[in-house]
């Protein structure tokens, strides 16, 4: 795993003075390696690659096919075939030398190239002019070829940590625009698990031309990525620190492969980190205070919940890959102040998507799309997250907009539109989600086949692989989707899980797949990465004849599971509800905040048990006061409502000495962001909180929203 971070610090802790309207700053980047393989093998791959060439040369096998391999200078005229052989040699060497000269010239390293080979060629010519010196010509030939190979291949393609500073220092000495490298500081770990520390220092380039610090940064990081990616058998954390003087006429966002201005203050956060008062001198609400989870910090308590957009390619090499559409939509929420933006349900297997137009992360080809979204979201000061999912028996449907546009009577996705009707899976075979058979033309789902134990073991591995890809793509948070009637929820519920093996039956059996997935994902992601779980707190089936016969997943089941989650590695429980059966007794559009009470009850339980588990509330959270009360003082909110009577009850309880008890630690908002991408800024204005706006939008900050 590779993680690259960049930070901009000023020398001596002070902002430098301006020169001609431009500021100079020191860009600091450091390398930290955690090497699990042999240190020498990993730290200097150039030695291993070069060894093969030198071994071949010592055996004299490079030119074994030439008749002059044992030829002395004075014997040329006596050896048959010498003229033809000597003609072949320059023909072979000339394009190699010309190509290297050209590429060294492109890299502004031609002087260094000539300095390397000049003395060697001069020495050869001198030796040839001394009649008393009898040297074999093949030694010269092999030396030239091997020198070209080692310098051109080992130097460019397998640059080692030991060689890199020397090479860069030499480049600088010959006038290259590269910065001059100083001797590295290498500190090898002596305690198992401790990080090796290799720090490089660069001085500014010697020429007066301005250095493109961003380009150099990206080049170096990508060089190290390519260097280590093929090995893949060890883990390392990169934080690349380089002191280099660069011109900064305006702040720059580092860590992404293109230019975007850095905001003066992160949008959606109070204007100063120490601010405690609103614009009317009241306490800043908890909603706009930061929250740290493991190694990441949310700038406020407002999260963009995952929302299916059904907008990826269903066919070809780009199947399931995120596109510029996702950068535009998700990135906009980040620009306007959301603390964490979660990418929609992303399939860990091809048949785990809800529709053929849903994203996936079962292939390395899909990493770049996620990385581009994460890069932009993080460049705006927000955290980037992704929800990993498997739809189970609710898979292979068509996107809602596809069904509406084409006036389809059924939501089933056929093979013609990219569906997989023969590979819809679930814990138990048979029943479709809507209860309609395959012969019913209005049915929206296919009957699932039952997953085997071997397939479930592979399922866990695929979740782990998808999580690793997500980390490699640069996400800050991973959420596991176990709600809304998708595969994990199907295993949790006795309504849909009627297995008799170790993945069914009692509570322990039905929660086994979830436990294996959570623990598996936790084992392959970094310790700093927060892990969320979305769960349906209830299926709203308690009063149905079906639940009375089979049981259902209800609030007591959720609270029982919640006690186990911290031990499995979950940091935040995202409490939703419903979605597993068409008989559910709930209309989510009837009442605002209809799931908040469930979240509140779970939060009270885990606090009473002394467990470290954050709780998120989601579902029709649309108003500023509603969101404020959920994370500040739940007594002012009844099902999300904020009537005058409820406010008076809260006031009376406070006057009687009652404690403030939040209903949740964060709010997750979905549809309201579709209506108002600037919802965070509007909420701040409604609560009289002065928060930072995007730098580019400052001209309209004081206009009415």
User: CA dihedral defined by 306, 307, 310, 314, rounded to 10 degrees?
Assistant: 10
| Alpha carbons 496 and 487: distance in angstroms, whole number | 10
Q: Are 481 and 488 in contact (CB under 8 A)?
A: yes
Using CA atoms, how far apart are residues 461 and 285, in angstroms rounded to an integer? 42
Q: What angle do CA 495, 604, 525 make, to 5 degrees?
A: 70
**534 close to 576: Cβ distance less than 8 angstroms:** yes
Q: Which residues contact 374 (CB under 8 A, 6 or more apart)?
A: 384, 473, 474, 475, 476
d(CA 516, CA 528): 20
- 46 sits in the region (left: phi over 0; alpha: psi -120 to 50; else beta) called alpha
Q: Rounded CA gap, 188 and 581, in Å? A: 57
Nearest CA-CA partner of 382 in 251, 259, 474: 474
Active site residue 486: yes
**Which residue of the set 113, 486, 503, 594 is catalytic?**
486
Residue 187, φ and ψ in degrees, nearest 5: -125, 105
Q: In the chain, helix, strand, coil percent, each to 5? A: 40, 15, 45
C-alpha span between 586 and 578 (Å, rounded) = 8
Residues contacting 358, CB < 8 A, separation 6+: 308, 310, 312, 320, 344, 345, 346, 347
The radius of gyration computed from the CA coordinates of the chain, to the nearest angstrom, equals 32
> What is the Cα–Cα distance from 432 to 212, expressed in whole angstroms?
59
Cα gap 355→109, rounded to integer Å: 53
CA dihedral 74, 80, 84, 90 (to 10 degrees): -30
Question: CA 346 to CA 362: how far, in whole Å?
Answer: 9
Q: Are 62 and 264 in contact (CB under 8 A)?
A: no
Closest CA to 148 of 111, 106, 99: 99
Integer CA distances (angstroms), 109 to 118, 327, 656, in order: 14, 39, 78
Pair type for strands 572-576 and 477-482:
unpaired
Find where tokens 């050896």 sit. 79
What angle in degrees, to the nearest 10, is found between the helix axes of 45-58 and 137-149? 160
Cβ within 8 Å of residue 461, ≥6 positions away: 520
Both tokens assigned to 167: 């090479």
One DSSP character per residue, 604-667 reads HHHHHTT---EEEEESS---HHHHHHHHH-GGG-BTTB--HHHHHHHHHHHHTTPPP--S-SEE
Residues forming beta bridges with residue 270, ordered by sequence position: 691
DSSP 319: B
Which residues share a beta bridge with 31?
A: 198, 238
Question: Where do runs of H (alpha helix) occur along 211-302?
Answer: 213-228
* Active site residue ranges: 486
């Amino acid at each position: 795993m590779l993680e690259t971070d960049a930070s901009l610090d000023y020398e001596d802790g002070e902002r430098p003075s301006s020169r001609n309207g431009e500021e100079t700053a020191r860009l600091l980047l450091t390398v930290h390696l955690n090497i699990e393989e042999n240190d020498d093998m990993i730290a200097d791959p150039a030695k291993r690659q070069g060894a093969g060439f030198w071994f071949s040369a010592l055996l004299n096998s490079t030119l074994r096919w030439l008749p002059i391999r044992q030829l002395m200078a004075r014997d040329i005229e006596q050896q048959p075939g010498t003229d033809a052989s000597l003609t072949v040699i320059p023909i072979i060497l000339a394009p190699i030398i010309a190509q290297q000269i050209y590429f060294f010239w492109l890299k502004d390293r031609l002087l260094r190239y000539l300095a390397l080979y000049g003395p060697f060629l001069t020495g050869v010519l001198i030796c040839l002019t001394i009649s008393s010196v009898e040297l074999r010509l093949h030694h010269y030939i092999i030396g030239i070829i091997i020198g070209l190979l080692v310098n051109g291949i080992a130097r460019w393609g397998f640059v080692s940590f030991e060689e890199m500073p020397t090479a860069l220092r030499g480049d600088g000495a010959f006038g290259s625009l590269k910065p001059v490298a100083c001797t590295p500081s290498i500190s090898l770990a002596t305690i198992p698990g401790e990080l090796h520390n290799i720090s490089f220092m660069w001085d500014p380039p010697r020429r007066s031309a301005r250095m493109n610090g961003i380009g150099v940064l990206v080049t170096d990081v990508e060089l190290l990525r390519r260097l280590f990616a093929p090995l893949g058998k060890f883990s390392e954390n990169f934080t690349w620190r380089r002191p280099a003087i660069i011109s900064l006429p305006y702040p720059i966002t580092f860590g992404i492969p293109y230019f975007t201005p850095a905001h003066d203050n992160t949008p959606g956060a109070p204007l100063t980190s120490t601010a405690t008062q609103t614009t009317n001198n009241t306490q800043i609400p908890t909603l706009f205070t930061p929250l740290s989870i493991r190694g990441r910090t949310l700038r406020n308590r407002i999260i963009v919940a995952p929302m299916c957009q059904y907008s990826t390619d269903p066919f070809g090499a780009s199947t399931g890959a995120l596109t510029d559409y996702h950068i535009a939509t998700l990135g906009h929420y980040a620009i306007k102040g959301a603390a964490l933006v979660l990418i929609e349900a992303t399939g860990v297997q091809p048949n785990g998507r809800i529709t053929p137009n849903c994203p996936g992360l079962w292939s390395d080809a899909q990493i770049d799309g996620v990385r581009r979204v994460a890069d932009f979201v993080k460049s705006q000061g927000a955290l980037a997250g992704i929800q990993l999912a498997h739809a189970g028996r609710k898979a292979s449907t068509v996107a809602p907009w596809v069904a509406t546009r084409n006036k389809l009577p059924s939501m089933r996705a056929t093979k013609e539109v990219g569906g997989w009707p023969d590979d819809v899976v679930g814990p138990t075979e048979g029943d479709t989600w809507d209860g309609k058979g395959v012969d019913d033309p209005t049915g929206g789902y296919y009957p699932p086949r039952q997953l085997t134990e071997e397939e479930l073991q592979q399922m866990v591995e695929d979740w782990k692989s998808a999580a690793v890809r997500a980390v490699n793509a640069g996400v800050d948070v991973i959420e596991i989707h176990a709600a809304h009637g998708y595969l994990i929820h199907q295993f949790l519920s006795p309504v849909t899980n009627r297995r008799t093996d170790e993945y069914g039956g009692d509570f322990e059996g039905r929660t086994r797949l979830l436990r294996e997935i959570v623990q598996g994902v936790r084992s392959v992601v970094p310790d700093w990465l927060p892990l969320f779980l979305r769960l349906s707190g209830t299926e709203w089936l308690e009063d149905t004849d079906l639940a009375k016969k089979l049981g259902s997943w209800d609030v007591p089941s959720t609270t029982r599971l919640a006690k186990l989650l911290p031990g499995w590695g979950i940091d935040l429980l995202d409490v939703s509800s419903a979605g597993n059966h068409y008989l559910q007794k709930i209309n989510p559009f009837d009442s605002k905040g209809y799931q908040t009470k469930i979240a509140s009850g779970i939060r009270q339980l885990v606090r009473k048990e002394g467990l470290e588990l954050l709780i998120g509330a989601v579902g029709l959270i649309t108003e500023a006061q509603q969101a404020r009360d959920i994370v500040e003082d739940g007594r002012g909110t009844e099902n999300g409502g904020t009537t005058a009577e409820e406010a008076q009850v809260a006031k009376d309880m406070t006057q009687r000495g009652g404690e403030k008890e939040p209903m949740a630690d964060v709010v997750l908002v979905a549809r309201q962001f579709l209506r108002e991408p600037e919802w965070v800024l509007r909420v701040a204005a409604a609560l009289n909180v002065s928060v930072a706006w995007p730098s580019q939008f400052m001209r309209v900050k004081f206009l009415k929203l």
